[in-house]
Chain A
Amino acid sequence: MHAISPQLALIQDELQIAALTFMATVYGLKIRWILRFRAGRDRQAPTGDADAARGARYSLAAIAMPWAMPSARRHPLLYFQFVVFHLAVAASIAMSFLIPYAPQAIAHPMIVRGLQALFAAGLAVGLLRLTRRLRDPYVRAISTPDDYFSLALLLVWLALSILAAPNRPDLGEGPLLAYFLLTAFLLVYVPFSKISHYIYYPFARWYLGRTLGHRGVYPLKRSRPAQA
């Protein structure tokens, strides 16, 4: 492993921990805030052999079942982009932990190249998403400064992830410094931005799934084409 400067050590370790602690605290407060609101419940008898818990599980898993979601079936390319983009982001998050604490895990050149390819794919998809947001009148009409900024932020972050993946401070610490500084900023910014949607996701889908499961709507009865 390569020696690193005290600044990089501080930024990739203590600063990240501080930023993570901040994010976790805000999320903790946010979850407490969500739970302060009363949850509606289904008092009526379930429909047939419907099962609220099964509905909730199905709802949570729906994101991984593109065939089950009408919007994903209708737009398979967008679904594919969604998968690539989120895999790239998840990989970069993982990398922000691995570089300081287990660098050997991603030291192999093949892994580095694989990560870079994934980040590049995520970056490309992100650019497509940004283009869609700017060009599609429907999406543009609902976009806020936060939508653009969050996406732009992740694009820059994925670009920096490509540069940081080799983890070669000996060739210059710039990419790593930039990557970790931006990671820290992201951790602080995310809870206040649309990127925090992943905190709402399990709650929103669980409650919707519970209700629709109780009513026998979930698992969804898929539309079948007319018989010839």
Chain B
Amino acid sequence: MEQVRSWKAQRIVERLSQKLTRQILLSLEACVHCGLCTDQCHYVLANPGDVTYAPAYKADKIRKFFKAHWDWTGRAFPWWVGARSLYSDEELEDLKDTVFGKCTNCRRCSLACPMGVDMATFNRMARGLLSWVGVMPEGVAVVAKDQWEIGNQMGVLKEDYLETLKWMEEELQEEYHDPTIRIPIDQPDCNVVYAINPREVKYDPRTIAEAAAIFHFAGESWTMPSEGWDMTNFGLFNGDDELAAAAAARVYDAVERLRGKKLVMSECGHGYRSTRCEGPNWLGREVPFEMESSVVTMLRYIREGRIKVDPSRNPEPVTYHDSCNNARSCGMFEEPRELLRLVCLDFREMYPNRAENYCCTGGGGAMSMSEYAPRRLRSARIKAEQLRATGAKIVATSCHNCVDGLYDLIRHYKLDMQVKLLVSLVANALVVPVRVPVPAARRPLEGRTILVIDDEPDVRLYLSKIFAEQGCEVMDAPDANQAMRAIKARKPDLITLDLVLPRKTGEKLYWELRRDPEYQDLPVVVVSGYASIESPRIDFHGFLREKGLPEPEGFIEKPVDVERLLETVRCALQNSRRGQA
């Protein structure tokens, strides 16, 4: 007699055909049951003798179902190859317990498999099948719902997010006694659009401030979006490709809306993987801008000398935990290590490390599945032993999920250790340039008047401050009309001009000035970020030729290099008739 199948099981059977890719099919077919993956899994190592934790055993729960419907032998002689379909809701619950509660999708077993079976990938597929019929841990359902409905996985409201950023901005200004430090929101045409993990807003806003300080002292042109700021993605965890694609698209849309040149993501392993490595595949389209982890950004700033760090400010022994998603799934191995060596005095590896590191035990969304917490903490023994063996006082990691997972196990196993993100260590080591007032006699722009024309208030403020520190009087204007009025009211010695202005463009204003005998010799230094996505560097001379514009006295590309700007302004003033007079 044919076995009756529950409604949910029937839907899963039907759905399987849509989820099978060639890679998943091969992974389901290729296993030879050699068992070499067994001791690669921290669950197995921490629960000796319990075969249900073995990767191949867990994988077989999915494989049996696949074989019953797709494998040739499995369909004809199911008992011979252990094939068995899913029939009851109890079986679905049992499968849920395995794919959500006994595997963090860390991919360690996949890399150890001689056959190249990628168990993490089809475990995610199984999660997706179950989620589709609502069979998932309660916490996963809640978080996924928040990400669908509110746009971020922690349900942070826009007002709270913006308020937190404002609060952090004020804290920063107070801490560094510098009112020019900003956390810019929705600034268009910036070099960097910075997206974060909502956990930062909700539980750890200090990391936003630390990143902001680093951007500020690096002189970066950056912004945070008011929408599409959550770079995490619960679709990776619950296997829902639609949610995964929608969450990634939100971030990409924000960058495109702001015409950002690069998306920099704060430290979150699964967010980085989802946005950088999986998002374009879920969406089925390529992304027309660069994406990088803030770890890479911070390292670049130090290498380029844009920020200075003092490792003696982090004297405690530090070890590094490779997030599975960053390392095993995205290849980020050496950058965090190089960064830690620059900002810490005593960096020491844990073993194993890099692609062979053990999961923090909080991966794969495990932190949101409270029903499995005792199991998770019991299995965390392996990680705890690994951490203890380093003798480090700080475990650095580049993932908020890992921070939570590690924090939990450190407390549970009473390790004398703290968890920190790399941004905190970098910010702590940051050497803030001391602002030495230039003596009045030596201020080279003393007595000059400069008009700053730019539609971005931040840029106007920033440039005005630079010129004021050089002793000159500064006027500013947000658009071409106000600029013209200011010039007529009081003729400046030089103007800095942004080409991208609302209504009348900077280009038109420039033409007007050059055609007007009264102002045709007024020195103009163009300060603009007028570049296309295809060619992020501006070919300014080509642009002038194309537009038939006369050459201005200087051109500075955004983000502004202060030294270059001042040098250009000084030269322009010296060479101008007015300057020579």
Chain A positions within 8 Å of B, measured between CB atoms, are 30, 34-35, 37-45, 47-48, 50, 59, 62-63, 69-72, 74-75, 78, 82, 132, 136-139, 141-147, 192-194, 197, 200-201, 203-209, 211-212, 215-217, 220-227
Contact = CB atoms under 8 A, between A and B. Distances in A.
A35 B276 CA distance: 28
A136 B118 CA distance: 23
B44 to A, nearest CB: 8
Interface in B249-301: 276-281, 284-287, 290-291
B284 A204 contact: no
Contacts of A207: 22-23, 26, 116
A138 B54 contact: yes
Nearest to A213: B331
A208 to B, nearest CB: 4
B54 A141 contact: yes
A225 B82 CA distance: 40
A44 B287 contact: yes
Contact of A37 (B22, B35, B113): B22
Interface in B327-375: 327-334, 348-357
Contact of B116 (A42, A142, A208): A208
Interface residues of B, number: 72
Contacts of A132: 35
B581 interface: no
Contact of A141 (B30, B57, B350): B57
Contacts of B291: 44-45
B190 interface: no
A44 B334 CA distance: 20
A142 B23 contact: no
A225 to B, nearest CB: 5
A169 to B, nearest CB: 35
B30 A200 contact: yes
A208 B110 contact: yes
Given A39-B21, A70-B111, A217-B330, A223 B357 contact: yes
27 contacts: A34-B26, A37-B21, A39-B21, A40-B22, A40-B23, A44-B279, A44-B287, A44-B291, A45-B290, A47-B331, A69-B114, A70-B40, A70-B112, A71-B40, A71-B114, A72-B36, A138-B38, A138-B44, A141-B51, A143-B33, A146-B82, A193-B73, A194-B32, A203-B30, A204-B29, A204-B30, A226-B389
A201 B27 CA distance: 9
B390 interface: yes
Given A44-B277, A204-B115, A142 B35 contact: yes
B114 A138 contact: no
Interface of B: 20-23, 25-27, 29-30, 32-40, 44, 49, 51, 54, 56-57, 60, 72-73, 79-82, 110-118, 276-281, 284-287, 290-291, 327-334, 348-357, 389-390
Given A142-B35, A217-B330, A226-B350, 11 more contacts: A40-B23, A44-B281, A69-B112, A139-B33, A146-B73, A197-B115, A204-B116, A211-B23, A217-B327, A217-B331, A220-B355
Contacts of B389: 226
B306 to A, nearest CB: 20
A160 B457 CA distance: 86
A75 B36 contact: yes
A159 to B, nearest CB: 21
A78 B37 CA distance: 12
Contacts of A217: 111, 327-331, 355
A223 B114 contact: no
Given A69-B112, A209-B116, A217-B330, A40 B33 contact: no
A76 B23 CA distance: 28
B22 A194 contact: no
Given A39-B22, A78-B36, A221 B51 contact: no
Contacts of B351: 223-226
Contact of A205 (B29, B37, B116, B279): B116
A223 B81 contact: no
Contacts of B118: 208
A144 B290 CA distance: 48
B114 A63 contact: yes
A43 B286 contact: yes
Contacts of B26: 34, 200, 203-204, 207
Contact of B56 (A40, A43, A142, A216): A142
B331 A200 contact: no
A192 B71 CA distance: 9
A39 B57 CA distance: 26
Contacts of A63: 114
A72 B87 CA distance: 38
A208 B23 contact: yes
A142 B81 contact: no
Contacts of B354: 221-224
B355 A34 contact: no
A35 B20 CA distance: 12
Contacts of A221: 333-334, 354-355
B116 A201 contact: yes
